[in-house]
Chains A and B, each alone.
Chain A
Amino acid sequence: MRLSVVLIIGFLVLAMPFTLRAISEKGFYADNQVYYNMRASDAISNGIYYDQLENRPFELSLINYLGILTNYNIILPILLGLISLFILFKFSREYYNQFLFALIAPSLFALSPIFIFLFSSMISEMLALFFFFIWVWLYHKKSLWSVALLSLIAISDIEFFFVSLILLGIYYLYDKNNRLFSYNLLSIIVAAIFYFFNPFYLDFVSPSFSNYFTSFGAQAGVSIFYLFLALLGIFIFWKKTRSKKYFFTAFFVMFIFSLFLVEARIIFTVMLCLLAANFSVFLIKRVWAIPIIKRFTLLLILCGIIFSSALFINHTINMPPNKELIQGLDFLKTCTPGGVLSSDDLGFIIQYYSDHPTTFDNINQTQPDIFYSRDLNFVKDYFKKNNIKFVLVTSKVNQNLWSKEDQGLLFLLNNAANFDLIYGSDNLRIW
């Protein structure tokens, strides 16, 4: 009965962004990367393996093949999310031997921004996390199937595989008699064979507040509230189980890697949820000297968690593409071929809806020089060199890049004879 509550929370949290996006006639998925995956799946299913728009071969990730099978139906990410919660519940219950903990840990994870971000999109990290949960469960059960799962992680997301190997290595330091460790290393061969034939990019990010914490605008980020709860959880956990050095070593290592790798941040968040759950259980079970404070403190924690989730869901709902952008890109599709200059977070969306190449995307990130230049000759050379024929500016892009209408490239777009406004709506302009 109580497990069903966790699953219902998970379902509601995941269904909400999809439903609200659908009601406001936005694209189902909010993340830019999904649109690349959708385009890759389309092409692969038609036997095309070279990406003309990106001018490189398509990334042959497992998610693209899964996309072909499911046609990017939203049921799949929701289902994988719920199964992940179920495994986390089973694992917490068995490993920590506390029913309350087993309920709170997956609930906290279900309400965490990273869960909402991953399982409301169809990206390789989502699939890899799902396999990761099964892998940890099977490894814990000392099953040989864990090798297969680690191999699946490898062909889903190379960075996730890298992080999983680090965790495996740390575990080996504390449990050297484990033969399963050696078998699991066989997955490296699978990864080597797979990536020999497929290109891959290690996506390291430079650490900053704005890409680490969701409060500062990060998508795959950590909630400050969760971090605080987890830090308090460390004190409790530390006191009770000093012997569990593995968890703390892994926690510390994941924290370091989480600064540079989104995949490590995902696992770090799962660890934060476990620690936060530990602290919550401590608060609930503690005999309080001031009972009225107990109620208020727990209420505040609950409000804090729900508030951070609600903010992130709201953020997800408001992300592109919206109806206006889709209409604009449909118009662009009818125009002559040519590159589109816009912000990198719209790159894959523009490619998917308009079939036009873009200068910036998740891989080629925005270079500010061109957006802040008022030198017409420089701009003309740059456009010629990069075969740019269109400039697409949404109100959000405008707001993020420029503070005034006469700033940088925007000044030239508005004033120079070389640029014609070919499409304009309330929040979108195409030159």
Chain B
Amino acid sequence: MKKKTAIVLLVLIVLLAFSSRLFFSFQTETVSYDAYFSLRQIESINDNLLPQFNDKLSFGGRTHLFTPLFYYLMALLDFIPAYEKVIPALLFALSVIPVYLISFQFTKKRDISLMAAFFSSFIPVAFSLVNDVSVYSLLLLITLFTIYFVSRINEEKYLYLSIGSLVLLVLAHSSSFLVLLGFLIYLLLIKLESLEQNSKEQELILFGTFLALWYNFIVYKDAFLVNGPLLIWQNIPLQILTNFYFDFNIIQSIYFIGIIPVFFGIYGLYNTTFFSKKRPVLMIVAFFLSSLLLLWVKLIPFRIGLLFMSFMLVLLSAYSLHLFYSYIKKTKFDYIVNWVLVGILLLFFLTAIFPSITIASKAIKLTPSKAEVDAMLWLKNNTANDSVVMARPEEGNLITYFAKRKNVIDNDYLMVKDAQQRYDDVSDVYNLRLKTEVVRILNKYNVNYLYFSKKFGTQDKLYYLDEPCFNLVYDKVVQIYQVGCKLE
């Protein structure tokens, strides 16, 4: 295949990936519940040039700790219409380019590299983030480019690009430790396989590790003191932790990644580990092991770990396809080799597209409805500025973003001392039948309004709700009650 043709096809794949993500994303006007935290930060940067590290609304007033690079990037690009949907979709779509480049690096075959690029554009798990304003879209792109640059570190141009991308990666998010762990495993594999050590790689990885340690230490130093070792799990309450970092399940993982990348990826892993020992492929193996390890010990959210792992499997698939292609070429059936590739592509289409659509549809449903947004706007227009609104943790960011009111809990637990207690208390309010206990909890957090959307709970109504303690002040799909009682 000619280079120009490959470039045209690659651009088409990028456009296809971009448009398919946008298609799902624009099925709803809103973004995911968690994304409203990002939107607040972006708005804050636009207004004051600084993110809201000191947040007066979240948890009734607290400090946030995060690396703000992604929010600055989003704030810079907010002139683009619907930037909150367009930019993450674009970043995900652009990930196809480094996948192509890395695949080409070890296959030297454009058609196979294009296949890998296509695989990566329709990984089902990536569609679960279709409505997120997620830093992982940026992190994934930089990670893949870093892998590509480091694999060509001996060329001077790529040396500086490697340094730049590694610095950017560390500044982007604390999950950069996943990448650094991957690089460290790579060095270990090189050592175990008795391959020649590349000094430039070693030095760059050492530098990246120290940079990540130092930078994250500066950013999260207060969280070390406040949350202690729970910082590793972002101080997430136990009940959520079991869902957020749930056990690694192979069948479920195959569904989220797609059977073709899993099958060919595992063969690539086997071949690299036991036979070929090619350096760039070993690097991919190391990254696969790094994400697998972090998933196994529950140090990374399930979806995110799977996302990184799936991209590594796609890259390993490219290597397997290359081996498969070369093998068939050597047999008497070499004339059908292209048809075999088309067959694999079709099989991928059948096995990955449908899960992608299902997962994307589910993601769309997990966005706030118009009724919820209306209820929030009602809160904004009809309640006192210092009111405290209790909702479920998933809805906390809606209260601060749309209603501009204090919430009792949301999904960012880092730096919150009583996160577990608050979570238990909020759960109790939505599950208890005993009015006095509910009023005691509501008084404890000075709650003025109780928000009930029925979206994150199983029950249709709250049993203790009656006047004069609870006045129904908003009654549509969503119900809002004003708390009128105090426990003396």
- Whether A307 touches B218, Cβ cut-off 8 Å, given contacts A209-B229, A215-B224, A216-B224, is yes
Bound together, the chains give a CA A288 to CA B218 distance in angstroms of: 27
Bound together, the chains give a CA A210 to CA B224 distance in angstroms of: 9
Contact B417 A403 (CB under 8 A): yes
Task: Tally chain B residues at the interface, Cβ within 8 Å.
Answer: 23
Contact B206 A297 (CB under 8 A): yes
Q: Which of B163, B211, B214, B229 has the most CB of A within 10 A?
A: B214
A197 to chain B, nearest CB (A): 41
Bound together, the chains give a CA A371 to CA B228 distance in angstroms of: 22
Is A23 engaged at the interface, CB distance under 8 Å to the other chain? no
Q: In chain A, residues 324-342, which have Cβ atoms closer than 8 Å to a Cβ of chain B?
A: none
Contact B207 A216 (CB under 8 A): no
Bound together, the chains give a CA A213 to CA B231 distance in angstroms of: 14
Which residues on the B side are within 8 Å of A404 (C-beta)?
A: 444
Is A290 engaged at the interface, CB distance under 8 Å to the other chain? yes
- Nearest residue, chain B, Cβ from A292: B163
Which residues on the B side are within 8 Å of A304 (C-beta)?
A: 210, 213-214, 217
The interface bits of chain A over 293-311 (1 if a CB of B lies within 8 angstroms of the residue's CB, else 0) are: 1101100110110011001
Contact B200 A215 (CB under 8 A): no
Partner of B207, one of A209, A228, A300, A311: A300
Is B418 engaged at the interface, CB distance under 8 Å to the other chain? yes
Is B199 engaged at the interface, CB distance under 8 Å to the other chain? yes
Which residues on the A side are within 8 Å of B228 (C-beta)?
A: 209-210, 216-217
Which residues on the A side are within 8 Å of B417 (C-beta)?
A: 403
- Nearest residue, chain B, Cβ from A213: B224
Q: In chain B, residues 204-225, which have Cβ atoms closer than 8 Å to a Cβ of chain A?
A: 204, 206-207, 210-211, 213-214, 217-218, 221, 224-225
Which residues on the B side are within 8 Å of A210 (C-beta)?
A: 228-229
- Whether A216 touches B200, Cβ cut-off 8 Å, given contacts A307-B214, A307-B218, A311-B221, is no
Contact B217 A297 (CB under 8 A): no
Q: In chain B, residues 442-468, which have Cβ atoms closer than 8 Å to a Cβ of chain A?
A: 444
B214 to chain A, nearest CB (A): 5
B325 to chain A, nearest CB (A): 35
Contact B203 A297 (CB under 8 A): yes
Is A225 engaged at the interface, CB distance under 8 Å to the other chain? yes
B486 to chain A, nearest CB (A): 12
Is A289 engaged at the interface, CB distance under 8 Å to the other chain? yes
Contact B225 A300 (CB under 8 A): no
A222 to chain B, nearest CB (A): 13
The interface bits of chain A over 379-408 (1 if a CB of B lies within 8 angstroms of the residue's CB, else 0) are: 000000000000000000000000110100
- Nearest residue, chain B, Cβ from A232: B206
Which residues on the A side are within 8 Å of B214 (C-beta)?
A: 225, 300, 303-304, 307
Bound together, the chains give a CA A304 to CA B204 distance in angstroms of: 18
Is B254 engaged at the interface, CB distance under 8 Å to the other chain? no
Is B159 engaged at the interface, CB distance under 8 Å to the other chain? yes
- Nearest residue, chain B, Cβ from A308: B217
Partner of A293, one of B203, B213, B218, B229: B203
Contact B210 A297 (CB under 8 A): yes
The interface bits of chain A over 108-131 (1 if a CB of B lies within 8 angstroms of the residue's CB, else 0) are: 000000000000000000000000
Contact A290 B221 (CB under 8 A): no
Contact A290 B217 (CB under 8 A): no
The interface bits of chain B over 414-429 (1 if a CB of A lies within 8 angstroms of the residue's CB, else 0) are: 0001100100000000
Bound together, the chains give a CA A228 to CA B159 distance in angstroms of: 26
- Nearest residue, chain A, Cβ from B422: A403
Which residues on the B side are within 8 Å of A294 (C-beta)?
A: 203
Contact A289 B221 (CB under 8 A): no
- Whether A289 touches B199, Cβ cut-off 8 Å, given contacts A216-B229, A300-B207, is yes
Contact B207 A296 (CB under 8 A): yes
Bound together, the chains give a CA A334 to CA B108 distance in angstroms of: 87
Which residues on the B side are within 8 Å of A289 (C-beta)?
A: 199-200, 203
Q: In chain A, residues 225-247, which have Cβ atoms closer than 8 Å to a Cβ of chain B?
A: 225, 228
Which residues on the A side are within 8 Å of B444 (C-beta)?
A: 404, 406
Which residues on the B side are within 8 Å of A224 (C-beta)?
A: 213, 217
A231 to chain B, nearest CB (A): 11
The interface bits of chain B over 389-418 (1 if a CB of A lies within 8 angstroms of the residue's CB, else 0) are: 000000000000000000000000000011
Bound together, the chains give a CA A406 to CA B408 distance in angstroms of: 17
Bound together, the chains give a CA A215 to CA B214 distance in angstroms of: 13
The interface bits of chain A over 198-216 (1 if a CB of B lies within 8 angstroms of the residue's CB, else 0) are: 0000000000011001011
Q: Which of B159, B163, B206, B221 has the most CB of A within 10 A?
A: B206
Bound together, the chains give a CA A296 to CA B199 distance in angstroms of: 16
Contact B210 A288 (CB under 8 A): no
- Whether A228 touches B206, Cβ cut-off 8 Å, given contacts A215-B224, A290-B159, is no
Partner of A297, one of B159, B199, B207, B218: B207
B425 to chain A, nearest CB (A): 11
B474 to chain A, nearest CB (A): 29
- Whether A300 touches B210, Cβ cut-off 8 Å, given contacts A225-B217, A403-B418, is yes
The interface bits of chain B over 99-137 (1 if a CB of A lies within 8 angstroms of the residue's CB, else 0) are: 000000000000000000000000000000000000000
- Nearest residue, chain B, Cβ from A212: B229
B232 to chain A, nearest CB (A): 10
Contact A215 B217 (CB under 8 A): yes
Bound together, the chains give a CA A300 to CA B418 distance in angstroms of: 35
Which residues on the B side are within 8 Å of A311 (C-beta)?
A: 221
Partner of A403, one of B163, B221, B225, B421: B421
Q: Which of A210, A217, A225, A297 has the most CB of B within 10 A?
A: A297
Bound together, the chains give a CA A336 to CA B148 distance in angstroms of: 75
Bound together, the chains give a CA A300 to CA B217 distance in angstroms of: 12
Contact A293 B221 (CB under 8 A): no
Which residues on the A side are within 8 Å of B163 (C-beta)?
A: 290, 292-293
Pick the 3 closest A-B CB pairs, nearest first: A289-B199, A209-B229, A300-B210
Known contacts A224-B217, A290-B200, A300-B211, then 19 further A-B pairs from the complex at CB < 8 Å, ordered by chain A residue: A209-B228, A210-B228, A215-B217, A216-B229, A288-B199, A290-B163, A290-B204, A293-B163, A293-B206, A296-B207, A296-B211, A297-B203, A297-B206, A297-B207, A300-B214, A301-B210, A303-B214, A304-B217, A406-B444
Interface of B toward A, CB cutoff 8 Å:
159, 163, 199-200, 203-204, 206-207, 210-211, 213-214, 217-218, 221, 224-225, 228-229, 417-418, 421, 444
26 A-B residue pairings within 8 Å (CB atoms) = A210-B228, A215-B217, A215-B224, A216-B228, A216-B229, A224-B213, A224-B217, A225-B213, A225-B214, A288-B199, A289-B200, A290-B163, A290-B203, A293-B163, A293-B206, A293-B207, A294-B203, A297-B206, A297-B207, A300-B211, A303-B214, A304-B214, A307-B218, A311-B221, A403-B418, A406-B444
